[in-house]
A and B are shown apart, each in its own frame.
Chain A
Amino acid sequence: MKVLVFNRGEIAVRACLAAKKLGLRSALFLTPADHEGPAARLADEIHLCPDAEPARSFLSLEELSRAVRETGASHVYPGYGFLSESEELARAVAEAGALLVGPPVEALRVTAHKGRAAELARRCGLATLSVASEPSAADFPVLLKAARGGGGRGNAFVERPEQFADALRQLQHRALSLFRDDAILVERFLTQARHVELQFFGFGGLGVLALGTRDCSLQRNHQKVVEEGPAAPPVAAALQPHVEAICRELGALGYRGAGTVEFLWDVARRQLHFLEINSRIQVEHPVTELLIGEDLVEWQLREALGLGAEALFRREVAPRGHAVEARLYAEDPAQGFVPDTGTVHHLFLPAPPHCRWDLGVAEGSRVTPHYDPLLGKLVAWGNDRAEALGRAALALQAAELHGVRTNLTFLAAIVQHEAVREDRHTTRWIEEAFLREATGAPLPAHVTAELPRHGREEPAASQKSEERWKIAHRR
């Protein structure tokens, strides 16, 4: 059996390593932009795609089919981003005579569609933020979301009713060209919120396992910057009653592989709202890996290839301690976070105990304008939150990466900030408080008001709510 790794960067490295561990052959889909990267050194063989441009490489079903044919791969590993959540990819892989490492098309039809996923959530007793397609003045500010889009470019924030029509038209246009579907959902926008998520893993006919929670509230421009797990006790407690129903619904779809249910926690009203389901492995999955001591990329391959999947499903997993992830980007915080390109000529990334760097670059790697600026991630584990944040700060401060500008200093400053250490931040904290503070701009009134802590000082509650994360729905 041979796995075609149809992705790049750090997730391609993880897939090559997992394949090696399982004794599988890996074939890497490689574009000219990544010849010097670490994945090319780890793969058993490479398939050369002549063009680095995403539209003619990682977004091209034709190039994928050619790669499957030429390598004779039995399985395709999609990673995250690019086509990882698209039904078209699942179909193209099947037509090329291989199997996709991920959920079946029937499950994707529901989970990767924001509208159908919201219906599933409502059946689990979860509230959503949906408002009518013609929102009333009281609903503003609202967030417009492309039904089939993911993050950043599939979203538009609308503050006032008079901006609604224009924003809707623009997003429909963008959604049609990016995702080939102009369906748009309208949601209420929470100004004081925490972003939380539930990691799950599907085993097809066996059922679905819940593997614990994460909190990804440290965001800039709707992009996650620093993630951690588990979520604060009050949030985890609010999610707890719905976990079994979520696993049951996903199990009924025959869900296979890694997935995440995302939620927003309304800090003022202390309410949980369903956001969406990510039908793939996520960038921040290592947070959960450190908490439960498992390799989720290996799980994906084992589940898809039938290599002891049942044993994994029966395995006792219990989150322990606290974990933090920081995303290393090739961008310049001093110039409005503009992405930077270049060749990495110097790399020194020491990892304190219980810390790990997952990197998509090595010395000599080029960072090109073609793809997302993510260079890699630091993950740090600790017995408690303070220890995990402390270790993350240690690693980020010692890190040296020269040749391309990075957000290392920015990350180090965030994990050491008082508001983060005290767990008082919300999803807009980086933009509204942290960056303004750093530049000396005045803070908006609702930021200067004392924000509630998130109740991490109640360890008893934490243990109680985490006990039942081991729930599995068995069909």
Chain B
Amino acid sequence: MEDRPPALKHVLRWRRRALLFWADGSRTVITFDAAGRAWADHATAAGRLRGGPFERGALFPRAGGASEAGSSGPALHAPVAGIVARVHARAGQDVAAGETLLVLELMKMEFPLVAPRAARVLAVHAAAGVTVEKGALLVSLAT
């Protein structure tokens, strides 16, 4: 899927930005946000997406590769930044695999966090109504 980028011909730099001119005639704008992460525009000669914090990902998800809600470790992190809509899990509770522990809401969409396997809830780190960043620790499970 990933092809090698063509050779770089010119670079124009200005404040926190750069404009890259590639040998194949395409160009890419790179900018840096306040956290120092690099961002690039999508319009490359190959028509490939190079957007977002500089991850040169594929343009579209792989078949059946929709984003998985939650992670599979003993700790569950927020898959997206969002608002905690509902908390179903309580500390000390035994939960079954697939049970919804907590629901995040983001722009009118709900993202349920489900237990990856049967486990005991050690702690719930967020309350309903709280805004959380992507990757924030939400629920710890005992394995």
Contact = CB atoms under 8 A, between A and B. Distances in A.
Interface in A328-374: 330, 332-336, 338-343, 345-346, 348, 369-373
Given A405-B52, A409-B51, A413-B47, A439 B63 contact: yes
A336 B29 contact: no
A441 interface: yes
A439 B52 contact: no
A439 B40 CA distance: 22
Given A333-B59, A348-B29, A369 B107 contact: yes
B107 A346 contact: no
A372 B79 CA distance: 18
Contacts of A405: 51-52
A152 interface: yes
Question: For the side of the interface on A, what is the size category?
Answer: 35 or more
Interface in B29-79: 29, 31-34, 39-43, 47, 49, 51-52, 57-67, 79
A403 interface: yes
B21 to A, nearest CB: 15
A438 interface: yes
Contact of B31 (A345, A373, A398, A412): A345
Contacts of B34: 343, 345
Interface string A395-436: 001111011011011101100000000000000000000011
Contacts of A338: 67, 79-80, 106, 111
A410 B52 CA distance: 14
A53 interface: yes
A425 B142 CA distance: 50
Q: Which secondary structure dominates chain B's binding surface?
A: loop
Interface residues of B, number: 40
A440 interface: yes
A96 to B, nearest CB: 27
A270 interface: no
A153 interface: yes
B138 to A, nearest CB: 14
Contacts of A345: 31-34, 39
B140 interface: no
Contacts of A410: 59-60
B107 A371 contact: yes
B58 A402 contact: no
A369 B63 contact: no
B81 interface: yes
Contact of B60 (A53, A399, A435): A435
Interface string A367-400: 0011111000000000000000000000001111
A181 to B, nearest CB: 19
B29 A369 contact: no
Interface in A148-201: 152-153
A333 B131 contact: no
B29 A438 contact: no
B41 A440 contact: no
B67 A408 contact: no
Interface of A: 53, 152-153, 330, 332-336, 338-343, 345-346, 348, 369-373, 397-400, 402-403, 405-406, 408-410, 412-413, 435-436, 438-441
19 contacts: A153-B108, A333-B59, A333-B60, A340-B52, A340-B80, A341-B80, A341-B134, A343-B33, A345-B33, A346-B31, A369-B105, A402-B39, A402-B40, A402-B41, A405-B52, A406-B51, A409-B49, A412-B42, A435-B61
Interface of B: 17, 29, 31-34, 39-43, 47, 49, 51-52, 57-67, 79-83, 105-109, 111, 129, 131, 134
Given A53-B83, A341-B106, A408-B51, 8 more contacts: A53-B129, A334-B59, A339-B106, A341-B134, A371-B107, A372-B108, A403-B39, A405-B52
